[in-house]
Amino acid sequence: MSRRLLAALSSAVLAFGLAACSGEGAGGGTDTAGQDPKDLTIGVSMPTQTSERWIADGNSVKQKLEAKGYKVALQYAGDDIPTQSQQVDQMITQGADVLIIAAIDGTALTSQLQAAADKKIPVIAYDRLIRGSKNVDFYVSFDNFKVGVAQASALLVALGLQNKDGSKGAKTGPFNVELFAGSLDDNNAHFFFNGAMQTLKPFIDNGSLVVKSKQTAIEQVAILRWQQETAQKRMEDLLTSTYNDGSKVSGVLSPYDGLSRGIITALQNAGYGTAANPIPMVTGQDAEIASVKLINDGVQSSTIFKDTRLLAEQAVIAAEAFLQKKQPQANDTKTYENGVKVVPSYLLPVQTVYKDDIKAVLIDSGYYTAAEVAAGQAK
């Protein structure tokens, strides 16, 4: 037999072997441990492209996996639950070997996850915990409770009720504040709000903070799908319903930069943002470039920076561990109970960014350039 024929035959056998074990997308069920990365596909399902952070996450995960030679199927679901379910279904049937999923609705993917488990495809929940399923193998995120604590602390610091080191601030209030939370179907929204409320409660109890609308329950202040327009509308409604007596709002707890921008627009449209009528202290999250510019310009008061490059790196480390049939290393095995089990997690720390921190935290780390911050737009 000629060497060429032999080579052709053996690659045909190899191809047949692969097809036989990956079958109709047997994915992670195959012995991925010994395989060349180029024969392995990682399905990456992201919620939406309307927020920069998820674009940065998707790009980072894809680049890091591709740099290691893996094939990547990256999909964005346009914040539509059926679209995400369908995209994950497709990744499974097309033979994904590992799935990395940032869910839109944390409870909506149970049947997809069962299908993945049936094919022994490991599932990594990315930033948002997937709830109600035993088939979530690992969770990579940030310390979400601490995000809420950091947001509330930033509000207290901005109002002067507390110093950055946690000591008592120079001001005593009372200050009128309003509260916002994220989407109720996102597990993180509850962690953020609980962390924030635990921090704000003593100040509400002693009267230095007054939630004038009296809307303090998460169900009253949540914004479905984290929509900027919905937050703007709620802030407009609050201003007309609660602040039409000449009283002023001094601070707004906002859990995400997109919401913060909606809230700020509502406030500006109502005349806030002048020397006589200063813009309230508004918090945020994600260090989105448009908001970093607003912070730099003194319009938004703070944000919480979550380095998506580090999160992507953890997701890649976890995916590789699963491909090598190992268990990824967790640093939290208690906190993230998803209704069925506690999901082993790797949680990253977060950083508060006020105007003074932009250079050290965001520019010097290479996350943004000074020009991007000045323009309010990332390249």
Site residues, ligand BGC (CB under 6 A) = 51, 53, 127-128, 182, 186, 188, 226, 256, 285-286, 306
Amino acid (1-letter code) at residue 252: V
Least distance between ligand BGC and beta carbon 306 (Å)? 6
Least distance between ligand BGC and beta carbon 187 (Å)? 8
Tell me if 284 sits within 8 A of 254, measured CB to CB. Answer: yes
Closer to ligand BGC by Cβ: residue 32 or 188: 188
Least distance between ligand BGC and beta carbon 131 (Å)? 13
Least distance between ligand BGC and beta carbon 186 (Å)? 5
What is the distance of C-alpha 293 from the center of its chain?
20
Least distance between ligand BGC and beta carbon 9 (Å)? 51
Compute the distance between CA of residue 132 and CA of residue 5 in angstroms, rounded to an integer: 53
Compute the distance between CA of residue 97 and CA of residue 18 in angstroms, rounded to an integer: 13
Closer to ligand BGC by Cβ: residue 102 or 159: 102
Least distance between ligand BGC and beta carbon 145 (Å)? 12
Least distance between ligand BGC and beta carbon 29 (Å)? 30
Compute the distance between CA of residue 94 and CA of residue 88 in angstroms, rounded to an integer: 10
Residue nearest to ligand BGC (CB): 256
Compute the distance between CA of residue 49 and CA of residue 58 in angstroms, rounded to an integer: 9
Nearest 5°: the CA angle 79, 93, 61 is 50
Closer to ligand BGC by Cβ: residue 128 or 131: 128
Closer to ligand BGC by Cβ: residue 187 or 199: 187
Compute the distance between CA of residue 200 and CA of residue 209 in angstroms, rounded to an integer: 8
Amino acid (1-letter code) at residue 157: V
Closer to ligand BGC by Cβ: residue 37 or 182: 182
Least distance between ligand BGC and beta carbon 363 (Å)? 20
Closer to ligand BGC by Cβ: residue 151 or 176: 151
Residue 174 per-residue DSSP state: -
Q: Spell out the alpha helix ranges (H) of the chain.
A: 3-22, 52-67, 81-93, 110-118, 144-159, 187-205, 218-221, 228-242, 257-269, 289-296, 308-323, 370-375
Closer to ligand BGC by Cβ: residue 144 or 176: 144
Closer to ligand BGC by Cβ: residue 137 or 186: 186
Q: Which two tokens stand for residue 299?
A: 């319009």
Could you give the C-alpha distances from 61 to 28, 45, 64, 65, 280, in angstroms and in order?
Answer: 19, 11, 5, 6, 36
Compute the distance between CA of residue 198 and CA of residue 130 in angstroms, rounded to an integer: 24
Compute the distance between CA of residue 320 and CA of residue 179 in angstroms, rounded to an integer: 40
